[in-house]
Structures are given as C-alpha cells and as structure tokens.
Amino acid sequence: MREQDTPPQDRPTRAGTDSEVEVSDGDLLLFGDEANPAADAGAAPMIEPASLAASDLAPTSDTERPRRALLGMGAQEFGVLARAIAVLGLCGFSLTAFVVQLLRGKWIVGFVGANTADTPVRIRLLISVAVGTLAGVLFAISMWPWGKAKERTVRVMRTARFLSPAILPGFAYPLLRVGEWDTFPRIAAIAVVAVVAELCFRAACTEILAARLTVARWIGAAAAAWCRLLDRVRPTLSPEFILVLLGTLGYAAWMSYFTVLNHRHFVTMAFDLGSYNNMFYNALHGHPFRDTAVFRHAVNWAMLSNHADFGIYAFLPIYALHPDSETLLVLQAVALGSGAIPIYRFAARRIPRAMALLLAFAYLFYAPMHQANFYDVHFQPFGAAFVLWALDLLDARRFVLFSLFFVLALSCREDISVGFVVVGAYLMLTGRRPRIGALMFALSVAYFAVIKFAVMPRFGTCWYSEMYRELYPTGENSYGGVMKTFITNPVFVFKTLITTEKMTYFLLTIAPLAFLPLRRRLLWLSVMPGAFFTLLTTGYGPTVEISFQYVCYNIPFLFLAAAIALALMGQGQAARAKQWGAVGAMAVATLLATNVWGAIPPSSKFKGGFASIGEFKPLSKEERQKAHDLRELAAMVPKKAALAVSEQEYPHVSSRLDCLDLRDGYEGADYILYAENTGGFGSDSGTRALVSGEYVEMARRPATRLVLLRKKGK
C-alpha cells in the first residue's frame, strides 16, 4: 500500500553553531532566548551567547564596572542564569509534586480538591515540594562552574530548555483525577496546561533540532536514523498511513461494540435511535420519510418537515442486510472513525507525516466526538465524515470523487450546507481556489434556501427555530426574525454568547486542539458552522453540551483548520520547533480531556446525550433475559399491526412499519408492549390503557416486568 499526494518532509537536522538556530520571539521570557539574550531586555542588536560570555569575562573599563552583577558576571549573563535556575527549580517542584500525588493521593484530594487538609499534611506537602524545588536549583547551580567560562551560562540555559517539559507532570496529573473538579474549572485548567506545554515542548524541540547538547545530539541522531529507515519502507507503503488505518479500524471496532453494548443495556431511547430505525425500515419498504415515532398517523414524506435526511438512501443497501437499530449504530461508528483518513491525507500534504499522524489520532481521541457517538444515531456524525472526505478530495484535486462526497454530505441534513458556505467563503477570501469557492458557496446557499424555506415547509412546520427564541424580535418567531436580530442588534447577540455554559462548551471543543484553529484570523471561520447551531442558540441546553450530536457541526472544520495552522507556521528549524511545540500541546490537552470526558477508556464523567454512561459494564443476567422476553413478545404482534412501545424498549422492536411511542399515549395502537412500573417513559400510558378496559392482557413476563396488551376486537 502506498499513499499518494504526500510529499517528502523535513527531517531532524544538526546545527554546528549557535548562529544556525532560529529562536522564536514567542518564547516565554522565563525560558530565555539564548540566541539573543539582549532581546529580553529590549536591546536591538543580536548578540550570540558565546560573544556575550566572552565580553563579560574580558577586562572592562571603570565605566562598565557598575554594570557588573553578582559574582563578577555581566547583567545579561546573570539574567540568563537566573532564568535557567528558575526553570530547573520549577522542574524539580513539578516532578516532586507528581511523585507525591502518586504516593499520597489522599493528601492531594484534601489539599487541592477541597482545601481541607490539616496542618501536618500541609507542612509535609510544602516541605516535599520545597525540597524538590531546591534540588532543581542546586542542579542548575552545580552545572555552572564546569566548562569554559564563555559557555557555561548558556549551557545551563540550554539544559533548562531541554528539560522544561518536566514542568508538566505535577500540574497535569491533578487534572486526571476525575471526581474532584467541576467541568468549567477543569477544562480551563487544561487550556492553561496546554499553553504551558506548548512553550515547554517548543523550547525542548529547539534544543533537539540544534543538537548542541550531547543528549539532544543522541535524540537527533536516533530520529534521523528512524527517518532513513522509513524512507526505505515508503516506496512500498507508508507506515504512518498504515497506523492511521489501524487507528480507524480500532475506533470503528471499539465504538461499534460499546455503542451496541450500551444499546443492549437499554440506555438508548425512542428519540432518536428508535425513530431513525423506524424511518429506515419504512424507507426500505417503500415509505419515504415516514416515522411513526414522531408522527403517529404519519404519511409518506412527513419527516421532511423536520430534516432533509436524504442520506438514508445511501445507507439503505447496507441496512437491508440486517434491518435493526444495531446496524445504524455500527454504521455511525464506522463513518466517524473513517474521518481520520482524510484528516491525515489533508495534513500530510502540508506538514510532516508524523505530525499529520498525531493530528489524526487527536481526532480519534477527541472526547466531544466520543460523547456524540454514544447519543443514539443522528445524521450530523455522518455529515461530518462526508465533509472531511469531500474537502480532502477537493484538496487533492479529485473533482469527481469530491462531487460525490459533496452531494453525500449535503444529503445528510439541510444544515450541513452551512459548513460548505463557510468553506466557499474561505477559498474566495484567501484566493486559493476562488472559482471553486464561489461555486461551492453559491450551490450551498441555494441548496439550504430551497430545502429549508421552500421544500420542508410544504410538509409541515418544525420547532427548531425555538432554539433561538431569545433572539426573536417582538412578534416574529421565525428564522427570518432571528436573522434580523443578527444583523440589526449584534450587541444583544454577543450578550447571549457570554454564559458559563457556552464558554465551557467552547473550551471543551477547542482546547483539545491547543487553540490551533484560532491561530490565524481567517481560520476563525472554522468556528462558524458549529457556532450557528450551538453557541448562538438560546434556551436549549443540548446544543451547548458535547454529549449531543450538535458538536459534530464543528469537528471537520476545526481539525482541517488545525492542519492549516500548523502549515502556516512556516519552514526551517525555528518553525519546526513551533510546530512540534503546538503538536505536543495538542497531544497533552487531548489526552487530559479524553481521560475525563472520552470513551477510550470511559470515566465516570462520560456521557451520551442525556445519559451518564460511566464505565462499560457487561450485560447482566436480567438484561439478557429482558432482551429475550422483549423479542419473544414482539414476535407475537402481526407485522402490519400498530404497536405502541415504552421509550427504552422502543429501539429494540422499532423495525416495523407502525411502531408508536407509548410515552405520547396509546391512541391508534392495536397492541401495547411496555415495562411495567418503571416510572414513566410510557409505563404509565400502558397502565392507563389496561385500566381503561379497551385492552386486554395478552402475555406477561413477571421476571422482567414486560406486559403485552391487545386491543379488544383485534
């Protein structure tokens, strides 16, 4: 197997002198700029470390002596050494704190989580971290006296920069402890750790690429040898692409298995897994857009009043092989997992393959996508996958295949077209492919306008404009009224954005990517497709929670924007250090977020829709028995009869033409199947039907509390 359209990338190089290394002016003052120490003090000329040290040691005039600092060092040299000592002291502090947390976790729970630790515990903690900090400081000081006078200070700073990632463990580890933080402070802390991680990794990568320290030279040599080995393999296959394929298959298998397991735990509901399964089943039997869960007396095409999910017919041949809710869950997991391939291909044309590989795996470990994947079945996840494939194929100039996936993406839902409107605007504004951008923009606007405002209203009205109800002008409760508010009162719109819930949602989606999509002004457009359907909504909680399908509007654009942002950092050693710093920060933030909110593996904070899923547990004996009894009772009902089913049982038996949601009542039902005494979700409707005398009990399974009723005369 050989990947196409991925040009050879730069490899680690060695620099023989300090002047060969470019150091970004974006580095923290704390880390210093050993290539230009004077820059920290605002001095204009570039001063090399060696010349700085030599000038400090050379004889000076009386007018220069007042500038001398402690121990006979020059002021600038002393500043460099002080920063190096501070960095290594922080490393010692963090590593000690990390070890203390591993060995004395209960201390940290009280001290950091609730500030309840007693005085002896506080003293022990403070002594421990003080000893660690002192060890780091002494390590820095012990290195300074050795070697040539003109080199020793910059050698200490280079060591500090190389070791600076050791600052991270002690501060990142508390964020892994799931039960001690609320969502907003935790994700805000993860964002801060991501920023610090980028600075640390950038500093360390600068030293590795420059190869001025012995250990850095060893690492650089090992990386160069590894690149040479990969070059020998690439004429036959791309190892990175193989890893992406394996990751895709792993995601699809993991999510398929556990979403089906979650379904068999009776966590899925009539809305929306059962609803979509019923619509698929009706489409398979010649009844397009008919869903009896939503519309009890549904006719063909009725569901077009809600959404234009024409993509049903793309998946119908696969669904026909096994018409069941579980088939849809597997299809959704496979579609989302496949998105890693176009992300890798798109990124590998711009940045080194190793970085593209990490970006693809950041997608596979993206916690918001995991939670959306576990909320039943919806067409936004399918749309996100098709958008990724379409944009990758457009970028690769595969226009025929692009056209196919462009149509497939539009067919998933009418509002998927909004993302293509934004992409078209981006292509025109950047001038990269203005004609294609203009065509994409025009087609997407036309499709959205025709479907949303001409086709769908012919089949009825929907409630989705209610998600923007606080933005309605007086007396206008419609999308048109919302657009008037956007245009005429942007200050009020901005006010509705500044809420804790929306800020939390925004950080949860953008922080795992180390804010890469926000690094360039035009890349801010990547936030817009999702923002319209999430951040701009008012009074509807699910749109600003990552456990719902709405987060999938953001996913394709954020990850492709991250790849572009990395590419725009430029070429050369300084740019490569920036890139690796950003990728390292992304990896840290992704792993921290996934540990808390993701599904690989799940934690107690993991959700899917409204349900808190937590850990994946095997099926219990009772659940297996309930599934068996449910199938057995459903088989007693004639296929053409109208069956009303309680909410949690609905997805398991909804592969029939007329399957009604019992939670909305039993009107029109020939048969009723429900779980007795479960406190709602249709159980109360089933009890009322039996008491009414209109229905008689046909069968009962006491062990699982399932009851089947038949209408008299049927």
Better-predicted residue by pLDDT, 144 or 234: 144
| pTM for the structure as a whole | 0.87
Domain membership flag for residue 11: no
Q: Cβ atoms within 10 A of the Cβ of 75, count?
A: 15
Domain membership flag for residue 605: yes
The dihedral region occupied by 324, where left means phi > 0, alpha psi between -120 and 50, and beta the remainder, is beta
Closest CA to 585 of 86, 264, 196, 224: 196
Q: Please check whether residue 357 is in contact with residue 585, taking contact to mean a CB–CB distance below 8 angstroms.
A: no
Q: How confident is the model at residue 370 (pLDDT cuts 50, 70, 90)?
A: very high
pLDDT at residue number 182? 86
**Distance of alpha carbon 214 from alpha carbon 143, whole angstroms:** 14
Closest CA to 92 of 158, 141, 137: 137
pLDDT at residue number 265? 94
**Distance of alpha carbon 581 from alpha carbon 586, whole angstroms:** 9
**Beta strands at 643-645 and 671-675: parallel, antiparallel or unpaired:** parallel
**Does residue 489 share a domain with residue 377?**
yes
Mean pLDDT of the chain: 85
**Does residue 559 share a domain with residue 701?**
no
DSSP one-letter code for 292: T
Identity at 49, one-letter amino acid code: P
**Does residue 371 share a domain with residue 515?**
yes
Max mean pLDDT range (74-78, 112-116, 524-528): 524-528
Better-predicted residue by pLDDT, 606 or 110: 606
Hunting for tokens 């005039």 — which residue is that?
61
Which of 25-29, 305-309, 387-391 has the lowest average pLDDT? 25-29
Max mean pLDDT range (68-82, 100-114, 215-229): 215-229
Domain membership flag for residue 559: yes
Percentage of the chain modeled with pLDDT above 70? 85
Interhelix angle for 239-264 vs 340-348, to 10°? 160
Q: Please check whether residue 311 is in contact with residue 412, taking contact to mean a CB–CB distance below 8 angstroms.
A: yes
Q: Cβ atoms within 10 A of the Cβ of 296, count?
A: 16
DSSP one-letter code for 599: B
Domain membership flag for residue 12: no
At which of 585, 612, 639 does a domain end? 612
Run of H or E including 340: helix 340-348
The yes-or-no verdict on residue 32 having pLDDT over 80 is: no
For residue 652, give its domain range. 621-711
Which of 47-51, 394-398, 450-454 has the lowest average pLDDT? 47-51
**Does residue 671 share a domain with residue 559?**
no
**Distance of alpha carbon 566 from alpha carbon 343, whole angstroms:** 13
pLDDT at residue number 679? 67
The yes-or-no verdict on residue 56 having pLDDT over 50 is: no
At which of 592, 612, 632 does a domain end? 612
Backbone φ and ψ for 701, nearest 5 degrees, come out as -125, 95
Q: What is the pLDDT of residues 233-259, one digit of tens each?
A: 776 678 899 999 999 999 999 999 999
Domain membership flag for residue 47: yes
**Does residue 659 share a domain with residue 593?**
no
Closest CA to 455 of 303, 314, 311, 312: 303
Report the Cα 150 to chain-centroid distance in Å: 48
CA distances from 206 to 53, 159, 169, 351 (A): 21, 11, 21, 17
Domain membership flag for residue 222: no
pLDDT at residue number 59? 43
CA distances from 220 to 226, 358, 522, 599 (A): 10, 19, 35, 35
User: Mean pLDDT across the stretch 392-413?
Assistant: 96
**Does residue 631 share a domain with residue 553?**
no
The yes-or-no verdict on residue 58 having pLDDT over 90 is: no
Q: Please check whether residue 56 is in contact with residue 244, taking contact to mean a CB–CB distance below 8 angstroms.
A: no
Q: Which two tokens stand for residue 266?
A: 């009776």
**Distance of alpha carbon 415 from alpha carbon 537, whole angstroms:** 14
CA-based radius of gyration for the chain: 30
Domain membership flag for residue 211: no
**Does residue 634 share a domain with residue 540?**
no
Q: How confident is the model at residue 52 (pLDDT cuts 50, 70, 90)?
A: very low
Domain membership flag for residue 592: yes
**Does residue 662 share a domain with residue 582?**
no
**Distance of alpha carbon 545 from alpha carbon 508, whole angstroms:** 9
At which of 176, 191, 225 does a domain end? 176
The yes-or-no verdict on residue 480 having pLDDT over 80 is: no
Q: How confident is the model at residue 438 (pLDDT cuts 50, 70, 90)?
A: very high
pLDDT at residue number 73? 65
**Does residue 525 share a domain with residue 399?**
yes
Q: Which two tokens stand for residue 116?
A: 């309840």
Q: What is the pLDDT of residues 94-120, one digit of tens each?
A: 999 888 888 876 656 556 666 666 777
**Does residue 268 share a domain with residue 159?**
no
Better-predicted residue by pLDDT, 62 or 503: 503
**Does residue 686 share a domain with residue 565?**
no
Q: Cβ atoms within 10 A of the Cβ of 559, count?
A: 27
**Distance of alpha carbon 299 from alpha carbon 11, whole angstroms:** 62
User: Mean pLDDT across the stretch 436-442?
Assistant: 95
User: Mean pLDDT across the stretch 329-345?
Assistant: 97
- What is the three-class DSSP state of 672? strand
Q: Is residue 488 classed exposed, middle or buried when 0-12, 13-18 and 19+ CB atoms within 10 A define those classes?
A: exposed
The yes-or-no verdict on residue 658 having pLDDT over 50 is: yes
Number of domains in the chain: 3
Better-predicted residue by pLDDT, 212 or 146: 212
HEC string of 263-323 equals HHCCCCCHHHHHHHHHHHHHHHCCCCCCCCCCCCCCCCCHHHHCCCCCCHHHHHHHHCCCC
**Beta strands at 706-711 and 671-675: parallel, antiparallel or unpaired:** antiparallel
Better-predicted residue by pLDDT, 573 or 159: 159
**Does residue 467 share a domain with residue 318?**
yes
CA angle 130, 133, 135 (to 5 degrees): 110
Collect all residues with Cβ–Cβ distance below 8 Å to 208 and sequence separation of at least 6. Answer: 12, 162, 216, 219, 220, 223
